[in-house]
Amino acid sequence: MKKKPLSCDVWDTKTNRSKNISRFYKHKGNYTWQGIKPERYKTPGDDWAGIIRQAMIGSRGETAQFHLRYFEIAPGGYTSFEKHRHEHVVTCIRGKGEVTVGKKVHKLNFLDTLYIAPSTPHQLKNLEREPFGFFCIVNARRDKPEILNEP
């Protein structure tokens, strides 16, 4: 099934796909960008809470071998405790968070950056009263996460 164009897309009627063209995403303030729509993290479940996702790069016909996303976890929220073969690179840009990676726990503050190696169980949490926001870079082609029991 063909993907529907997003409102901000430049559509190529010959290929019926988004065009792979240069694009500028202006930060509108409050961690939102012109042309990027906040979405739900993933299908609702009881393994995660309070997360908004913004697909920055990767869903508009870009050919890069990576995707860039911005996630924001509300106070008290957390991501699934999971593992997968693909890597994560996480950089904190808003508030503070806590991340479990294998047997380690790190506090994440502004610009702290984390490389999560393949098949390492991990979970990000917001234990603070302000939103916790971070960029997350992944390979464009990647495997599905395996949800694990609580760490």
Q: Mind telling me the catalytic residues?
A: 136
Closest CA to 61 of 11, 122, 130, 118: 11
Find where tokens 């599905």 sit. Answer: 144
Interface map 127-146 toward a second copy (x if CB under 8 A): --------x-x-xxx-----
In 3D, which of 35, 52, 65 has the Cα closest to residue 94? 52
Nearer residue to a second copy within complex by CB, 49 or 83: 83
Rounded CA separation 151/60 (Å): 35
Is residue 62 at the binding interface for a second copy, with CB under 8 A as the rule?
A: yes
Considering only 38-46, 73-81, 104-112, 124-132, which stretch makes contact with a second copy by CB under 8 A? Answer: 104-112
When asked if residue 118 is in the footprint of a second copy (CB under 8 A), the reply is yes
Short-list 34, 17, 14, CA closest to 25 = 34
Least CB distance from residue 149 to a second copy, whole Å? Answer: 20
